[in-house]
Structure 1
Amino acid sequence: MGQTFMTTAELAEKLHYNARYIANNLVDSVLIEGTHYFRPFGRRKILFIWEAIEKDMFSAPRIDMPSIPLARGGVCHG
């Protein structure tokens, strides 16, 4: 398979961010479900895919990606 899965705490340690900041601010705004992370068995726990995150960190920003602003301040990538 060749993918490295990590929890929020492990990702926070690797990126030198606070785990709460990742969960509250980066998930669903910068980190997209299905691309950067998934919820195994449809539960609350999130597993991040390190290779996808690393690839996007070093690539050019995606300005052309469509997004829909949501009422509570989030963004829907569609």
Structure 2
Amino acid sequence: MSYTLLTAEQLSKRVPYCTRHIRDYLKDRIFIEGYHYVRTPGGRRIFFVWERIESDLMNSFTKGGSIPMTSGGYFNG
């Protein structure tokens, strides 16, 4: 399966959050590394996996579900 990889700038055009909020808050608290985003070798660049983010966002809206957090809890919006 192929995935659409987006930079924080590209992701900010698809979701209602600014680039800085994605990089500073969502990346560390909401998104899970290896699932919602990946790092390039060396860890300098981060790419977000659009299909997984979109799926979790849609599930949270349609089913009243939550987005999993790295700490093991869930974000209920």
TM-score between the two structures when normalised by the length of structure 2? 0.74
Per-residue CA deviation, residues 40-78 of structure 1 (Å, 9 max, x unaligned), is 113221000000101111221167x7837xxxxxxxxxx
Identity %: 39
Matches within 5 A, 1:30-41: 30-41=30-41
Residues 1:44 and 1:61: Cα distance change in structure 2 (over 3 Å): same
Q: Which runs of 5+ in 1 are unaligned?
A: 69-78
Cα distance change, pair 38–62 in 1 and its aligned pair in 2 (3 A): closer
1:61 is aligned, of 46, 60, 66, to 66
1:17 to 1:2, Cα distance in 2 relative to 1, 3 A: same
* CA root-mean-square deviation: 2.2
Q: What is the TM-score normalised by the length of structure 1?
A: 0.73
Q: Give runs of ≥4 in structure 1 deviating > 2 Å.
A: 65-68
Indicate how the Cα distance of structure 1 residues 43 and 66 shifts in structure 2: closer, same or farther if over 3 A, else same: closer
Segments of 5+ residues of structure 2 without an aligned counterpart are 60-64, 73-77
Q: Which has the larger radius of gyration?
A: 1
Tell me, in whole angstroms, the C-alpha distance in 2 between the residues paired with 1:33 and 1:66: 8
